[in-house]
């Protein structure tokens, strides 16, 4: 992004609106607590692969099964694919995910000399993203999750839900993909707010700004939103519960 565009009145207005959205969500959903213990980067990487295209509940089950069935990352890497597939079947897309996990582990052993990604601690955010996305099947979103949840960096991961809500709110006009939204949001998310904004947007996208049936009539961001399909419907929102505030998998990533 050029300096002039980052300082344009339009960009300044989007920045102001982003700060307003962060504040409204923190008021509506609360300030999320960062996990007491950060999972090791490799555990987070595998958990994020398992979380693709499935519910938290199913990916949590798949992750738990995987760590129950194999005593170590090296045992997992050496296992036949059919055993990995069987262990993660409950998480969906077992064929594809078992391949990604195995290939990913082999690539990590080659690049890092073992099944340990602690060398990432000494790298910049951009270096971590470049390093992790060299692994087949690992995209920018997965790399950003490792940065935020494992390495405690102020990085804002963008999945399809975060992309959808940011687009509807007009924070990334015309963005065509989560990757493009990630690049643009990097310039917009207020410093120190990546964790709060990311986790609150996920909760908000599940409860209110749902893909098919957004509850616009009860939305605290109605005035900020430019989504042409928003309607003042009369659905009432239930109060957020503790369960809405949990990420089953990402809050519970352990290791062997």
* 154 vs 244 by CB, closer to ligand SF4: 244
- Which span sits near ligand SF4 by CB under 6 A: 67-75, 83-91, 207-215, 233-241? 207-215
* 94 vs 216 by CB, closer to ligand SF4: 216
User: Given candidates 45, 216, 249, 250, which one binds ligand SF4 under the rule CB under 6 A?
Assistant: 216
44 scored as a contact of ligand SF4 (CB under 6 A)? no
Give DSSP secondary structure letters for 106-144.
HHHHHHHSSS--GGGGGS-HHHHHHHHTTSTT--HHHHH
141 in active site? yes
221 scored as a contact of ligand SF4 (CB under 6 A)? yes
Residue 68's Cβ-count burial label (10 Å; 0-12, 13-18, 19+) is exposed
* 16 vs 111 by CB, closer to ligand SF4: 16
**CA nearest to 104, candidates 178, 41, 179:** 41
209 scored as a contact of ligand SF4 (CB under 6 A)? yes
Among the options 97, 136, 141, 242, which is catalytic?
141
* 42 vs 219 by CB, closer to ligand SF4: 219
- The answer to whether residues 98 and 81 touch, using CB atoms and an 8 Å cutoff, is yes
3 state SS of 136: coil
Contacts (Cβ under 8 Å, ≥6 apart) of 125:
147, 153, 155
Q: Which of residues 151-170 bind ligand SF4 (CB under 6 A)?
A: 168-169
Provide the Cα torsion 52, 143, 81, 116; round to 10°: -140
User: Given candidates 50, 225, 250, 253, which one binds ligand SF4 under the rule CB under 6 A?
Assistant: 225
- Which span sits near ligand SF4 by CB under 6 A: 91-99, 111-119, 215-223, 234-242? 215-223
- To the nearest 10 degrees (0 to 180), the angle between helices 9-29 and 194-207 is 70
Residues of this chain that interact with ligand SF4 (CB under 6 A) are: 168-169, 208-209, 214-216, 219, 221-222, 225, 227, 230
Residue numbers annotated as active site: 141
């Amino acid at each position: 992004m050029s300096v002039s565009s980052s300082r344009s009145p339009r960009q300044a207005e989007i920045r102001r609106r982003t700060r307003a959205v962060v504040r409204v969500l923190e008021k509506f959903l609360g300030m999320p607590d960062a996990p007491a213990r950060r999972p090791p980067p490799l555990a987070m990487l595998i958990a994020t692969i398992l979380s693709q295209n499935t519910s938290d509940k199913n990916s949590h089950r798949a992750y738990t099964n995987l760590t129950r069935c194999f005593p170590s990352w090296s045992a997992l890497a050496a296992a036949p694919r059919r055993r990995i597939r069987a262990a993660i079947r409950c998480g969906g897309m077992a064929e594809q995910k078992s391949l990604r996990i195995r290939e990913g582990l082999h690539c990590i052993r080659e690049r890092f000399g073992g099944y340990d990604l602690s060398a990432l601690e000494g790298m910049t955010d951009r270096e971590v993203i470049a390093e992790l996305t060299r692994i087949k099947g690992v995209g920018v979103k997965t790399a950003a999750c490792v940065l935020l949840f494992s390495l405690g960096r102020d990085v804002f991961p963008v999945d399809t839900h975060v992309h959808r809500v940011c687009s509807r709110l007009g924070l990334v006009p015309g963005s065509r993909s989560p990757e493009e939204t990630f690049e643009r949001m990097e310039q917009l998310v207020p410093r120190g707010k990546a964790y709060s904004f990311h986790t609150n947007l996920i909760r908000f996208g599940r409860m209110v700004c749902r893909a098919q049936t957004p509850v616009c009539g009860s939305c605290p961001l109605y005035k900020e939103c430019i989504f042409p399909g928003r309607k003042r419907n009369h659905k009432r929102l239930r109060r957020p519960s503790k369960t809405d505030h949990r990420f089953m998998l990402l809050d519970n990533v352990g290791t062997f």
